[in-house]
């Protein structure tokens, strides 16, 4: 599936690459997964369709929204857009969706753990931090 084709889909799977994360979005059960590496050449054009999809989801969300982040790496430009995605997802709370954020990181990757803590603080959210070997 191409990123430009996601706007009217209930379920979206975008295959990851060496520059872009794997993304799964399921509006029916409210589960979202972002994993891998994020350093697209143009982060805004990559993430904008995803952000638009999430804006539509937040208007009529599932009763519970479960978001899993499992990044190996992301660049500074991507981090700004990830922050925007979190804010958009949080808008679903206004429409009575209970939101759960999970931040998965390699247990020896303190930088990635701290990045999750920064997102948690900047968005006034509560994250569950899950290290993996």
pLDDT digits (tens, 9 = 90+) for 8-63: 788 999 999 999 999 999 999 999 999 999 999 999 999 999 999 999 999 999 99
- In this predicted model, what pLDDT tens digit does every residue of 104-122 receive, in sequence order? 999 999 999 999 999 999 9
Cα–Cα distance for residue pair 16/38, rounded to 1 Å: 9
CATH architecture classification, 25-132: 2-Layer Sandwich (3.30)
Q: How much is the pTM?
A: 0.94
């Amino acid at each position: 599936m191409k990123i430009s084709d996601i706007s009217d889909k209930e379920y979206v799977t975008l295959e990851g690459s060496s520059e872009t994360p794997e993304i799964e979005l399921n509006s029916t059960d409210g589960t979202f997964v972002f994993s891998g590496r994020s350093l697209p050449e143009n982060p805004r054009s990559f993430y904008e369709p995803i952000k638009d999809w999430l804006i539509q989801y937040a208007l009529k969300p599932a009763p519970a929204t479960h978001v899993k982040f499992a990044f190996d790496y992301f660049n500074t430009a991507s981090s700004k857009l990830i922050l925007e995605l979190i804010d958009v997802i949080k808008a679903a709370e206004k429409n009575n969706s209970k939101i759960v954020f999970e931040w998965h990181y390699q247990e020896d990757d303190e930088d990635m753990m701290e990045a999750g803590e920064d997102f948690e603080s900047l968005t006034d959210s509560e994250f569950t931090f899950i290290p993996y070997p």
